[in-house]
Amino acid sequence: MASILTNASALTALQSLSATNKSLEMTQARISTGYRVAEASDNAAYWSIATTMRSDKSSLSVVKDALGLGAGKVDTAYSVTNDTVKIVNLIKDKLVAAVGASAADKAKIQVEITAFQLQLKTAADGAVFSGANWLSVDTTTGQTTPGTHDDAQIVSAFTRNAAGKIALQTIDINVQSVKLYDAFGTATNVEKGILDGLRLATSGVRDNTATAAAGGTVAATDGYAVSTLTVVGFNDTQIQQMLNVVDAAARELTDAATNLGAAKTRIDLQKNATQALMDSIDRGVGQLVDADMNQESTRLQALQVQQQLGIQALSIANSNSQNILALFK
Average pLDDT (196-221) is: 93
Q: What's the pLDDT at 183?
A: 95
Q: 268 pLDDT band (50/70/90 cuts)?
A: very high
Cα 107 to Cα 213: distance, rounded to the nearest angstrom? 18
Measured at the CA of 87, the angle between CA 83 and CA 93, to 5 degrees, comes to 145
CA quadruple 92, 97, 102, 107: dihedral sign: negative
Most confidently predicted of 32-36, 57-61, 291-295: 57-61
Q: Are 271 and 157 in contact (CB under 8 A)?
A: no
Q: 2 pLDDT band (50/70/90 cuts)?
A: low
CA nearest neighbour of 218 among 203, 247, 239, 249: 239
Q: 5 pLDDT band (50/70/90 cuts)?
A: low
Lowest-confidence pick of 60-69, 227-236, 312-321: 312-321
Q: What's the pLDDT at 234?
A: 95
Average pLDDT (289-314) is: 83
Q: 37 pLDDT band (50/70/90 cuts)?
A: confident
Phi, psi for 185 (deg, rounded to 5): -60, -35
- Crossing angle, helix 44-98 and helix 236-289, to 10 degrees? 170
Q: Any bridge partners for residue 155, and if so which? A: 170
Average pLDDT, rounded, for the chain: 90
Quick: pLDDT tens for 89-113.
999 999 999 999 999 999 999 999 9
Q: What's the pLDDT at 222?
A: 95
165-169, long-range: CB within 8 Å, 24+ apart, which pairs? none
Percent of the chain with pLDDT over 90: 65
Q: Are 107 and 116 in contact (CB under 8 A)?
A: no
Would the pLDDT of 314 be above 80?
A: no
CA distances from 301 to 18, 138, 141 (A): 17, 72, 72
DSSP codes, 100-144: T--HHHHHHHHHHHHHHHHHHHHHHHT--BTTB-SSEE-TTSSSS
Q: What's the pLDDT at 220?
A: 92
Give exposure, 124-143, as e/b (b: 16+ Cβ within 10 Å): beebbbeebbbbbbbbeeeb
Average pLDDT (5-34) is: 80
Average pLDDT (215-229) is: 93
Q: 310 pLDDT band (50/70/90 cuts)?
A: confident
Q: What's the pLDDT at 237?
A: 94
Q: What's the pLDDT at 24?
A: 81
Lowest-confidence pick of 25-29, 212-216, 247-251: 25-29
Cα 101 to Cα 86: distance, rounded to the nearest angstrom? 24
Quick: pLDDT tens for 122-161.
999 999 999 999 999 999 999 999 999 999 999 999 988 8
Average pLDDT (263-286) is: 93
Question: Strands, DSSP E only, in 222-265?
Answer: 222-224
Three-state SS for 230? Answer: coil
Cα 199 to Cα 202: distance, rounded to the nearest angstrom? 9
Lowest-confidence pick of 21-30, 37-46, 230-239: 21-30
Question: Strands, DSSP E only, in the chain?
Answer: 136-137, 152-160, 166-173, 181-182, 199-200, 211-212, 222-224
End-to-end CA distance of the chain: 19
Would the pLDDT of 6 be above 70?
A: no
Lowest-confidence pick of 223-237, 259-273, 297-311: 297-311
Q: What's the pLDDT at 327?
A: 67
Measured at the CA of 53, the angle between CA 50 and CA 54, to 5 degrees, comes to 85
Percent of the chain with pLDDT over 70: 96
Would the pLDDT of 79 be above 80?
A: yes
